[in-house]
Structure 1
Amino acid sequence: MIKYNVGDIVKTRKPHPCGGDEWEVMRTGVDFRIRCNKCGRVLMLPRPKFEKSVKKIIYSNTDDNAND
């Protein structure tokens, strides 16, 4: 199972009607809140639907370097 973090940028399988296919993860958990990087539209998706729609992670916002 892939771990998603707040701030990650993901590419979806289908583009948004505005033409954008890159989204920023704003909230994780049972539901995911994502924002389109092209038009700014915010969506809430259940976890299974979100995980099925993601093609790949473009940018991962990991907090591994927070203690440096």
Structure 2
Amino acid sequence: MPIKFEIGDIVHLKKNHPCGGNIFEIMRIGMDFRLRCSTCNKQLWLERTEVERRLRKHFRNDEEIKS
């Protein structure tokens, strides 16, 4: 069952971005997600399965969501 994500959610992923950050904001949801790195503000596209596989923590409105 897919994890429920919303635009504006913050995700902490296992793999770091090349800048060293691993916290991202979700900007678009669908088969592909558009994420913005909180460290360097670069945007990247990842498939939904890749986001779900790399997910460590998921926050919505500063509250952690248990998946």
With the length of structure 2 as denominator, give the TM-score of the two structures. 0.81
After superposing on structure 2, the runs of 4+ consecutive aligned residues of structure 1 that deviate more than 6 Å are none
From the CA coordinates, give the structure whose radius of gyration is larger. 1
Identity of aligned residues (%): 47
Q: Which amino acid in structure 2 is aligned with residue 17 of structure 1?
A: P
Structure of greater relative contact order (alpha carbons < 8 Å, 6+ residues apart): 1
Unaligned runs of 5+ in 1: 62-68
Unaligned runs of 5+ in 2: 62-67
With the length of structure 1 as denominator, give the TM-score of the two structures. 0.80
Indicate the RMSD between aligned Cα atoms, in angstroms: 1.1
